[in-house]
Every structure is written in C-alpha cells, then in structure tokens.
Amino acid sequence: MSDPAATLSEAIKDAMRAKDTTLLGVLRALKTAVMNVAIEKGGPNTPLDPAEFLAVVRRQIKQRQDSFEQFEKAGRAELAAKEAQEISLLEVYLPAPLTEAELDALVQQAVATTGATGKADMGKVMKVLQELTDGRADGRTLSQAIMRRLS
C-alpha cells in the first residue's frame, strides 16, 4: 500500500462499477475520515503517511465495533450484522494481525527493554510495544497481553 489515498480512490471506483452499495458506503466514509485528517494536518491535498492512514482505518473500525456492541445489547441483530460486515470490509486495509506467538515474543521483548516488573510499569511497556507491533494489533489486545505477562 504505497499510496493509501490512491488505493482508496481506486477501490471506490471498483465498488461503483460493481454496484456494491455496502462497500461503496464504507469506502466513502473512510475517504471522508481520511480527508478530515488531511485537512487538520495541513489542507485537503496534504498526503497522509501510511501510519496516519492506518490510524484512521482503526478509528473507523473502532466506531463500528462500538456500534456493533450497542446493537447486540439492544437485540438489533440485523444492524449488528451490518456493522460486522462493514468491519470486515475495513479490515482489508489493515496489515496482517500478529499471531499469538509473535505477540507474546514482542511483549516479552518490550518488558525486557523497559525493565518492567509489575502492573505499575504497564504504560512504559505499552508505549514500546505499540512501536514494535507497528499497528498489527489493537490497543485492547496489547493491553491484555501485557497484563497476562505482568501478572
């Protein structure tokens, strides 16, 4: 994914050609979110680096996960299914997730690097671990792995 904006624009065109309204809606929402971040950064034509693009994708997924949970609690299965489908469409833009073994090794490395001994050091470990994972795991997964290691 060398240029996320170009890739996204092409995906929107492909969704239009395929008349895939669900995908088109998700991609348009993503493009709007990317545009908003670009405007905040310096203007509508300001390019985002891949890390910034991934952060926008993660925010979009997080919003849908929150909606999914609310719909599940409210007993709205059809809306929850729609949110789950949109999440799966957005996950295409994320790098491959870490395996459990890779995550455990990175947690161990982060703990060794920071010299953490207990839960009080979780913030330091989290900061190092986020740099090591390079966006291949979400914050919740990372914090759970750190808690298991530091317990």
Reported as a pLDDT band with limits 50, 70 and 90, residue 2 is: low
Q: Is 126 found in the same domain as 81? A: no
Question: Which are the contacts of 119, defined by CB distance < 8 A and separation ≥ 6?
Answer: 147, 150, 151
Whether the pLDDT of residue 10 is over 90: the answer is: yes
Q: What type of residue is 29? A: A
What six digits make up the tokens of 7?
Answer: 């890739």
The residue range of the domain holding 46 is 4-93
Based on the number of CB atoms within 10 Å of its own CB, is 66 exposed (0-12), middle (13-18) or buried (19 or more)?
exposed
Query: Is 54 in contact with 94 (CB distance < 8 Å)?
Result: yes
Strand residues in the chain grouped as ranges (E): none
Three-state secondary-structure class, residue 107:
helix
> Looking at residue 35, what is its pLDDT?
93
> Looking at residue 64, what is its pLDDT?
96
> Looking at residue 1, what is its pLDDT?
44
Residues 66-101: tens digit of each pLDDT: 999 999 999 999 999 999 999 999 999 888 888 889
- Alpha carbon dihedral 146, 71, 52, 41, in 10-degree steps, equals -130
Q: Is 127 found in the same domain as 56? A: no
CA distance 59 to 5: 16
Kindly report the CATH number assigned to the domain that includes residue 143: 1.10.10.410
Q: Is 88 found in the same domain as 50? A: yes
Q: Is 87 found in the same domain as 72? A: yes
Whether the pLDDT of residue 148 is over 60: the answer is: yes
Residues 18-62: tens digit of each pLDDT: 999 999 999 999 999 999 999 998 888 888 888 889 889 989 999
CA distance 103 to 149: 11
User: Which of the listed residues 93, 115, 132 is the one where a domain comes to its end?
Assistant: 93
Whether the pLDDT of residue 131 is over 50: the answer is: yes
Neighbours of 121 (CB within 10 A): 15
Q: Is 106 found in the same domain as 32? A: no
Q: What global pTM score does this model have?
A: 0.75
Q: Using DSSP, how many helices (H) and how many strands (E) does the chain show?
A: 7, 0
